[in-house]
Amino acid sequence: MVLCRRSVLLGTLLFLSACSEQPAELPGWMDARSVLSALDRGELSSEVLVTYYLNNIDRDNRQGHELAAIIDVNADALVQARALDVERAAGTRRSALHGLPVVLKANIATADDMPTTAGALALRGHLTDRDAALVAQLREAGAIILAKANLSEWANFRGQNSISGWSALGGQTRNPHLLTHTPCGSSAGSAVAVAADMTLLAVGTETDGSIMCPAAINGIVGIKPTRGSVSGDGIIPIASAQDIAGPMARNVFDAALLLDGMLTSEARDRFARPLVYSVDQTPDLQKVVLVRAYDEREPAFTPVFEQLTAMFESRGVEVVQLTEWQPPREMGAAEFEVLIYEFRRDLEQWLQDYGVADEVNSFAELVAFNNARDEEALGPFGQEYLEQSAAIDLDTDMASYQAALATSRELAEAMLNEFLQVQGADAIILPSYSKAWPIDPDSGDGFGFGTSGPAAISGYPSITVPATFSGNLPLGISVVGLPWSEATLLSLAAELERELDAWQAPQFVTATP
C-alpha cells in the first residue's frame, strides 16, 4: 500500500504524494546535502526531484527565459528515477549519488536516445551504442542522466570569432544573471543549467577554460581535475593532451560529491578516501599566493583579495601578493599548435570509433558538409580551426607537434612551479575570468581576461568558486595546486566559499541596469 504524507523541507511546505500525478512545488536551488537528507528520511523521492527539474527545463529552456541550456532531455529519466526509488526503499543505496540528477555536456557519449553531437549539424541525431566511461560510472553509482546540455559547438574549437554558448543544434545559450550577456563556453549549457536550477549537478569538459570560464561567469563552482583523474574515453575530443571532464554545481560540496563519482579507479586509489570528506575540513595551509594583477582591470576583485589577505594573516598563513601574472606568449602559440594537431588525430578517431556516418567522419568531409550548408551549419562564424586541422599531415607534422607539446607543458609547469614548488605555496588564488560581456554575433567573444591557461596546459587541478559581483554579473576566483592536490584545494575552496558567501540565485535580468 502507498501512503501519502506531508513534511517540511528547507522551510517550505512539501506535499509528496504517490497518490498524485503532479509533484508539489519544491524549494528552489536546493543543495545536495539537503536533498540527500530528505531522500534518506523518505521526505523526498528521486521521481519528484527529477520531475521538478524537468518542469524547470520545460518552463525556461525554449520558452520563458529562453536560456537554450539544454539540447536533449532523457525520455527515460522518470522511469530510472522510479527504479532507483524502489532500490532505496528496499535498502539499497549504490553511492551518495543514488537518485541524483546529472546533466551532461552534449559532447559526452551516452548509450540511450539522446544524441551525442557536440552541437554540430553534421552529427544531428547521432546515437552511440555505448556510454562514455564516466557515464557508465555515474549510472553504476545510481546517478540519473537527466539531459544533455548545449555547448559552444565542437567545444569552441571550430573557428575564429566564435560565439560562446552557440551551436547549430542548440542555438544561443544565455546567462541567467543578465540575459543579454554571454554564458561563456564551451560548457555553457552545463553551467547555465546549474545556475538556473534546471539540475542539481552537471558535467562539463575543459581543454582550456571551458569549465572555469562558464562556471565563474554564471556564478557557480567548477572543478578541472588533475590530468588523467577522470577518463576521457567516449568524450568528443579536441586534444587528449588537455581534455578532461569535471563537475559543475552550486557549491563546493556538491561538486566534490559528483567528482568522486567520476574518478577513475586509479585516481580513487591515489586519493585514498572520497574527496567530499575534505570539504568540511579546515585547510592546513602554510603559504598562499594571491594574484593581484587584475585589480585595476576589474576593481570588484580588490575588496575580495583584501578580505582574504586579512583572513589568511589572522590564521598565521603567509601571504604572497603578486602584481604581475602574464603567461609567456610562446606558451599560447605552442598550445594552439598542439590543439590543431591533436584535434585532427583524436576527433577523426572518435568519429570512426563511435560509428558516425561515412559522409561526415573525417575533417575533409566535415568541412565540405558545412560549406554545402553554410548559414544553417556555420551560423555567425567560420570553421578556420576545422580547416587548419584538415590540412595537418599526422606523419610530416609530428616532430613539430611533439616539440610544441613539450614547450607548452614546460612553460606552463614552470610558471606554476615557481610558486607551488620553489616557494612552497600550498595554492595559488587568482581571478578566474573577467565578467560576462554582451552577446554579439557580429564581433564574437569579447573576453576581458582569463587565467585558466597554465593549469589547463600543465594538467594541474583548479577550482573556481563564486567571489563577488560586478553589478549584477558574477565573478569567480580560482585555486590552483600541484597535481593530485584536490583534497587540499577542495578544503580551501570550501573555506573561501564560506568566507566570501558570494553565491546568489540569478535574477534573469533582461537588460543592463
Sign of CA dihedral 110, 183, 207, 292: negative
CB 363 within 8 A of CB 389: yes
CB neighbours of 265 closer than 8 A, spacing ≥ 6? none
What DSSP designation does 43 have?
S
In whole angstroms, what is the distance from residue 319 CA to residue 304 CA? 14
In whole angstroms, what is the distance from residue 412 CA to residue 263 CA? 24
CB 35 within 8 A of CB 100: yes
400 is catalytic: no
CB atoms within 10 A of CB 29: 17
Catalytic residue (choose from 167, 210, 389, 491): 210
In whole angstroms, what is the distance from residue 80 CA to residue 96 CA? 16
Grid cell for residue 10: 528547507
In whole angstroms, what is the distance from residue 483 CA to residue 493 CA? 16
* Phi and psi at residue 82, to the nearest 5°: -65, -40
Nearest one of 416, 422, 413 to 479, comparing CA atoms? 416
Placement of cell 594537431 in the chain: 341
Catalytic residue (choose from 45, 46, 105, 485): 105
Distances (CA, A) of 116 to 71, 110, 126, 287, 371: 10, 7, 6, 44, 22
Q: Is 8 helix (H, G, I), strand (E, B) or coil?
A: strand
Distance from chain centroid for Cα 176:
16
210 is catalytic: yes
Placement of cell 551518495 in the chain: 96
Nearest one of 223, 218, 220 to 204, comparing CA atoms? 223
In whole angstroms, what is the distance from residue 436 CA to residue 180 CA? 10
Catalytic residue (choose from 45, 186, 187, 278): 186
Point out the residues that are catalytic.
105, 186, 210
